Amino acid sequence: MSLKKIKVGLLGATGVVGQNYIKLLMRHPWFQIVDVAASPRSAGMKYAEAVKEKWQMSMEIPKEIEHLIVRDVQDLDSMNKEVNFVFSAMDLPNKEETKSIEFKYAEHNIPVISNSSANRWTPDVPMIIPEVNYSHLDVIPIQQKSRGFSKGFVTVKPNCSIQSYMTPIFALNKSGFKVEKLIITTLQAVSGAGYPGVPSLDIVDNIIPYINGEEKKSEQEPLKIFGKVGKTGIINDDSLQISATCTRVPVSDGHTAVVNMKFKDEVPSKEKIINIWKEFTSLPQELKLPLAPKQPIIYYESEIRPQPKKDRENDKGMAVTIGRLREDNIFDYKFVALSHNTIRGAAGGAILIAELLKARNFFD
């Protein structure tokens, strides 16, 4: 890898997800933020002035960032000419506008790695969990050809609520034990709602049994991730059925999922499942990508783990932590899984995609 850092831009830089990107990229060995963009109301301000009291990270605004002038996200002409690709942390109410902006950058030869849900269901836009469906990067040349892009393209990361169970299920499928049905109940942290998020009087001493749009995402996004590359885009998997209930709980960070699973054919032993999870590695580990967890799946024998407060930071906040695997009275097995929603489920997951893209020479 070259010692010269790749210059990157950040769309939606003033929001909480944008702030997380800044936090995670400050000491990154490959990438350097040189351009920040946001809504027109922040345009022309220094970054520190635009964010002010909305800065939510546990660190101060980095010196390298605080004096950068915020650019209107729609104004590509004023973008730093050194920018090689952009991370998109935009969360516009109008999803079609978000899609339009992201493709606008791609048309201008700027690759986009997005956190937004706007393009997750666009067939020729890969939705990547790097350990699971890295082969979907093969869709990028299809997207470029069909849309007339030269160097630009759009790729997205999936919803944060599915990160805690997709890799464990994939590991079992890969080992020859096909999972065909899942019942999922998520207990999602308040940070997943952004800032200012859920009012304190709603969440303190309470559980909110509904999160708008989350159940649909939890039931449908895995089908694209487990899909295959076709001639015009991703062909969704049709062999997996998922029923999801998504709740908001008074936890700061870390999404927990209670998972009941049924296998299609052979049912492995408990010991076999745990061994598959413990030994699982994938391409990001083979490539030794900077943000890749050394052990993607961590299993605890303790009956009282995982816990968000104790386990969400495992391996840079990028590992999935599992516990309580046991036989189920209706399905075959059930377990509890945890992932860090603002690291693995948001900025960190997208940065890992960028690392994979660099390692596969998509930024050359």
DSSP string, 3-46: SSPEEEEEETTTSHHHHHHHHHHTT-SSEEEEEEEE-TTTTTSB
Which pLDDT does position 1 carry in this prediction? 41
Assess whether pLDDT exceeds 60 at residue 120. yes
Euclidean distance between CA atoms 18 and 288, whole angstroms? 25
Residues 6+ apart with CB under 8 A from 102: 88, 90, 112, 114, 116, 118, 119, 154
Q: Which of 28, 136, 255, 340 is catalytic?
A: 255
Q: Which residues of 120-146 are buried (b: 16+ CB within 10 A; e: fewer)?
A: bbbbbbbbbbbbbbbebbebbebbbee
Mean confidence (pLDDT) of the chain: 96
Assess whether pLDDT exceeds 50 at residue 144. yes
Which tops the pLDDT comparison, 165 or 1?
Answer: 165
Tell me the per-residue pLDDT of 43-95, one tens digit each, with 9 for 90 and over.
Answer: 999 999 999 889 999 999 999 999 999 999 999 999 999 999 999 998 788 88
Tell me the per-residue pLDDT of 273-291, one tens digit each, with 9 for 90 and over.
Answer: 999 999 999 999 999 999 9
The average pLDDT across 11-26 equals 95
Residues 6+ apart with CB under 8 A from 269: none
Which pLDDT does position 171 carry in this prediction? 98
Which pLDDT does position 94 carry in this prediction? 85
Cβ(99)–Cβ(121) below 8 Å: no
Residue 149 belongs to what H/E stretch? none
Active site residue 246: no
Q: In the structure, what pLDDT confidence band is assigned to residue 3 with cuts at 50, 70 and 90?
A: low
Assess whether pLDDT exceeds 70 at residue 2. no
Which tops the pLDDT comparison, 53 or 125?
Answer: 125
DSSP string, 233-246: SEEPP-S-EEEEEE
Assess whether pLDDT exceeds 70 at residue 33. yes
**Token pair for 247:** 């709740």
- Pinpoint the residues of the chain covered by CATH 3.40.50.720: 6-159+346-359
Instruction: Report the range of poorest mean pLDDT among 1-15, 57-71, 332-346.
Output: 1-15
Euclidean distance between CA atoms 348 and 342, whole angstroms? 7
Closest CA to 13 of 363, 347, 357, 348: 347
Cβ(160)–Cβ(192) below 8 Å: yes
Which pLDDT does position 151 carry in this prediction? 95
Q: Is 3.40.50.300 the CATH number for 6-159+346-359?
A: no
- CATH architecture assignment, domain 161-339: 2-Layer Sandwich (3.30)
Q: Which of 136, 160, 246, 340 is catalytic?
A: 160
